[in-house]
Chains A and B, each alone.
Chain A
């Protein structure tokens, strides 16, 4: 009897143990409710299917009111023949507000530039986007510039111009922080700046800003410069903390991360740290920086296997992917090296179309075009002067787009790519011909 009792007791004890293990803990914190946005007024609910360009907007002209001189046009404090950091000269024929410079054409006419500080110039840019069917732009916000008062004033003015124009012409717009030159200590600044922008411009108000780009049900914020191994003064862990703050437990925003080209292999231009993949998985979209990573003759062997491999990785990890395309590259004046004029030649758009078609054929669903207005590195797609029709530049020169192309050719070609990404048929690896 005693033995039976003992067994009975033991079994009760053992049942008791099992039971207590299965009981859920009662003091579990209540899950945070994710923020929900009313997107009924939003015109762009996803980056998918869109072709958007980067918009530098960092140029200023003397007399434009920005008080920043010839910012990003000048070199060594001067903007005169022999001193320029731009390779392509903007074609300002259609601008209502322009500025005379110390440069002259061969016929003695003064060469003029524009300033994005002026509302009418940014308006014209968005008008071109609409005319050619380019979906919109990512407004670059350079942390190293907006940390200062004059930089902040300038970029806020350009942003105000752009938000207004994007609404007028129905073009998508999003903000992209460029972290080049930032330090670990700047992450808190970015959080504050981003909060301030939301307040000042009512960015997340769908009625106020119906064109602000949404993705995965939230406004999209782009952060560029994560995982590069070029000796930056911030690291991937800093970005991880930044993401935690920007998204927050309520997931306030969706995130696009601008990463180096070899982000997936963690090699070459990329820091060899698996943390990068952890951070990428916390984002919504990844956009690898491809400028200068290939040229017309190496594109197929470099991007051919790389693009679909990137896309497969993103699919497996349930994030979206936007490859970058660029028309060519030229920075002879910026680098004071004549051999760098047309370093990656445009070949009348063949190179750009090769990438648009390559991205499409590899299964990409959105495109990032570098850039709308970047004339320092010669990747601009907007209207610029043609070869043989550029201002004189002492013993240097300005590179022009090919003389037999109309000055809006690259806008048109990107617009053709946008049509293809929107689902229109009839496009292939062969560059479309303009009627």
Chain B
């Protein structure tokens, strides 16, 4: 037993020395490889409708994307940012530098890349032309149904593919994030004077839309253009 204990201590000692040496090595390595300051700047802004100046609603997942390339590197690596449902975006961990920024695969008419110099807290709003404007929208509980009514204005010649009403417990509700939905195929030009109506029946969705719970509902439509995304009216919270 005593012999074993001694041996054990010896191993422990040697291990400690080794680990210390390793740590030292890593530390030194870290110092020599990355001696740069951490990202200390922020870039934020809002997607605004160029005509109405209102924020353009987005999807947080599978939504419009911001691509940005930091200048000064040969690799030209594209990094991406996502946009929140309310049309705002923010990146708090970005290096002060000049960037080429392009919103892509969006629910708006394509825009050209622009250069921006980020230093400290930098605001960059994007003025865009949403493919579809969802107007005069109302979403209400009527009896045992959630009823959405709205008008649509398309700003491009492409067909409107479909319209939808989506429900989810989170405010980031949308076509990609829903527990219940009502959709209607259009595949044509919309009539700007028509009031479109979509309904979600509550009793038949009672397993996901529970009585007493609070849910968010959002209605919108999608244009038939390459890589386009849904355009929406603001989400509405309803207690069931």
> Do A and B bind?
yes
Residues of A within 8 A of B (CB): 264-265, 300-301, 303-309, 312-313, 357-358, 361-362, 428-429
Contact (Cβ within 8 A) B110 A309: yes
B24 within 8 A of A: no
Closest partner residue, chain A, to B50 (CB atom) = A312
Q: Which residues of B38-74 have CB atoms within 8 Å of chain A's CB atoms?
A: 50
How far in angstroms is the closest Cβ of chain B from A274? 10
Please give, as numbers and ranges, the residues of chain B lying within 8 Å of A301 by CB-CB distance: 158, 225-226
Contact (Cβ within 8 A) B109 A312: yes
A308 in contact with B224 given A300-B157, A362-B156, A429-B157 (CB within 8 Å) = no
B159 within 8 A of A: yes
A300 in contact with B129 given A305-B110, A362-B156 (CB within 8 Å) = no
Closest partner residue, chain A, to B158 (CB atom) = A304
B157 interface neighbour in A265, A309, A313, A361, Cβ under 8 Å: A361
Contact (Cβ within 8 A) A308 B159: no
- Classify the interface of chain A: helix, strand, loop or mixed: helix
Query: In whole angstroms, how far apart are the Cα atoms of A54 and B224 in the complex?
Result: 32
Please give, as numbers and ranges, the residues of chain B lying within 8 Å of A357 by CB-CB distance: 157
Please give, as numbers and ranges, the residues of chain B lying within 8 Å of A309 by CB-CB distance: 109-112
Please give, as numbers and ranges, the residues of chain A lying within 8 Å of B225 by CB-CB distance: 300-301, 304-305
How far in angstroms is the closest Cβ of chain B from A276? 12
Query: In whole angstroms, how far apart are the Cα atoms of A361 and B110 in the complex?
Result: 16
What are 30 residue pairs bridging A and B, where the CB atoms are less than 8 Å apart in the complex? A300-B157, A300-B158, A300-B159, A301-B158, A303-B157, A304-B157, A304-B158, A304-B224, A304-B225, A305-B109, A305-B225, A305-B226, A307-B156, A307-B157, A308-B109, A308-B129, A308-B155, A308-B156, A309-B109, A309-B110, A309-B112, A312-B109, A312-B111, A313-B112, A358-B157, A361-B157, A362-B156, A428-B189, A429-B157, A429-B189
How far in angstroms is the closest Cβ of chain B from A280? 12
How far in angstroms is the closest Cβ of chain A from B224? 7
Contact (Cβ within 8 A) B158 A305: yes
Closest partner residue, chain B, to A306 (CB atom) = B110
Please give, as numbers and ranges, the residues of chain A lying within 8 Å of B111 by CB-CB distance: 309, 312
| Sample of 18 further A-B pairs with CB below 8 A, known A300-B225, A305-B156, A312-B50 | A300-B158, A300-B159, A301-B158, A301-B225, A301-B226, A304-B224, A305-B109, A305-B110, A305-B226, A308-B155, A309-B109, A309-B110, A309-B112, A312-B111, A358-B157, A361-B156, A362-B157, A428-B189
How far in angstroms is the closest Cβ of chain A from B53? 15
Contact (Cβ within 8 A) B156 A264: no
Please give, as numbers and ranges, the residues of chain B lying within 8 Å of A358 by CB-CB distance: 157
Please give, as numbers and ranges, the residues of chain A lying within 8 Å of B109 by CB-CB distance: 305, 308-309, 312
Identify which of A307, A309, A358 gathers the most chain B CB atoms within 10 Å of its CB. A309
Please give, as numbers and ranges, the residues of chain B lying within 8 Å of A362 by CB-CB distance: 156-157
Query: In whole angstroms, how far apart are the Cα atoms of A301 and B157 in the complex?
Result: 10
Contact (Cβ within 8 A) B156 A312: no
- Classify the interface of chain B: helix, strand, loop or mixed: loop
Please give, as numbers and ranges, the residues of chain B lying within 8 Å of A265 by CB-CB distance: 112
How far in angstroms is the closest Cβ of chain B from A331? 27
User: How many interface residues does B have (CB within 8 Å)?
Assistant: 16
Query: In whole angstroms, how far apart are the Cα atoms of A307 and B156 in the complex?
Result: 9
Query: In whole angstroms, how far apart are the Cα atoms of A264 and B111 in the complex?
Result: 9
Closest partner residue, chain B, to A300 (CB atom) = B158
Q: Which residues of B148-196 have CB atoms within 8 Å of chain A's CB atoms?
A: 155-159, 189
7 A-B pairs with the lowest CB-CB distances in the bound complex, closest first = A304-B158, A358-B157, A361-B157, A309-B110, A308-B109, A309-B109, A305-B225
Please give, as numbers and ranges, the residues of chain B lying within 8 Å of A361 by CB-CB distance: 156-157
Q: Which residues of B65-104 have CB atoms within 8 Å of chain A's CB atoms?
A: none
Please give, as numbers and ranges, the residues of chain A lying within 8 Å of B50 by CB-CB distance: 312
Please give, as numbers and ranges, the residues of chain A lying within 8 Å of B110 by CB-CB distance: 305-306, 309
Please give, as numbers and ranges, the residues of chain A lying within 8 Å of B112 by CB-CB distance: 264-265, 309, 313
Please give, as numbers and ranges, the residues of chain A lying within 8 Å of B224 by CB-CB distance: 300, 304
How far in angstroms is the closest Cβ of chain B from A360? 9
How far in angstroms is the closest Cβ of chain A from B2? 80
How far in angstroms is the closest Cβ of chain A from B49? 12
Query: In whole angstroms, how far apart are the Cα atoms of A306 and B157 in the complex?
Result: 11
How far in angstroms is the closest Cβ of chain B from A213? 27
Closest partner residue, chain B, to A277 (CB atom) = B112
How far in angstroms is the closest Cβ of chain A from B192? 11
How far in angstroms is the closest Cβ of chain B from A392? 41
Query: In whole angstroms, how far apart are the Cα atoms of A265 and B50 in the complex?
Result: 20
Q: Which residues of B122-139 have CB atoms within 8 Å of chain A's CB atoms?
A: 129
Query: In whole angstroms, how far apart are the Cα atoms of A264 and B159 in the complex?
Result: 24
Query: In whole angstroms, how far apart are the Cα atoms of A428 and B158 in the complex?
Result: 13
Query: In whole angstroms, how far apart are the Cα atoms of A312 and B189 in the complex?
Result: 21
Contact (Cβ within 8 A) B129 A304: no
Please give, as numbers and ranges, the residues of chain B lying within 8 Å of A429 by CB-CB distance: 157, 189
Query: In whole angstroms, how far apart are the Cα atoms of A429 and B129 in the complex?
Result: 21
B129 interface neighbour in A306, A312, A428, Cβ under 8 Å: A312
How far in angstroms is the closest Cβ of chain A from B98? 15
Please give, as numbers and ranges, the residues of chain B lying within 8 Å of A303 by CB-CB distance: 157
Closest partner residue, chain A, to B226 (CB atom) = A301
Query: In whole angstroms, how far apart are the Cα atoms of A209 and B213 in the complex?
Result: 76
Query: In whole angstroms, how far apart are the Cα atoms of A428 and B155 in the complex?
Result: 14
Query: In whole angstroms, how far apart are the Cα atoms of A429 and B158 in the complex?
Result: 11
Closest partner residue, chain B, to A302 (CB atom) = B226
Query: In whole angstroms, how far apart are the Cα atoms of A301 and B228 in the complex?
Result: 11
Query: In whole angstroms, how far apart are the Cα atoms of A33 and B124 in the complex?
Result: 38
Please give, as numbers and ranges, the residues of chain A lying within 8 Å of B226 by CB-CB distance: 301, 305
Please give, as numbers and ranges, the residues of chain B lying within 8 Å of A307 by CB-CB distance: 156-157
Closest partner residue, chain A, to B106 (CB atom) = A305
Please give, as numbers and ranges, the residues of chain B lying within 8 Å of A264 by CB-CB distance: 112
Query: In whole angstroms, how far apart are the Cα atoms of A313 and B159 in the complex?
Result: 23
Query: In whole angstroms, how far apart are the Cα atoms of A357 and B155 in the complex?
Result: 13
How far in angstroms is the closest Cβ of chain A from B227? 9
How far in angstroms is the closest Cβ of chain B from A305? 5
How far in angstroms is the closest Cβ of chain A from B52? 14
Query: In whole angstroms, how far apart are the Cα atoms of A305 and B111 in the complex?
Result: 10
Query: In whole angstroms, how far apart are the Cα atoms of A307 and B157 in the complex?
Result: 9
Closest partner residue, chain B, to A266 (CB atom) = B112
Please give, as numbers and ranges, the residues of chain A lying within 8 Å of B155 by CB-CB distance: 308
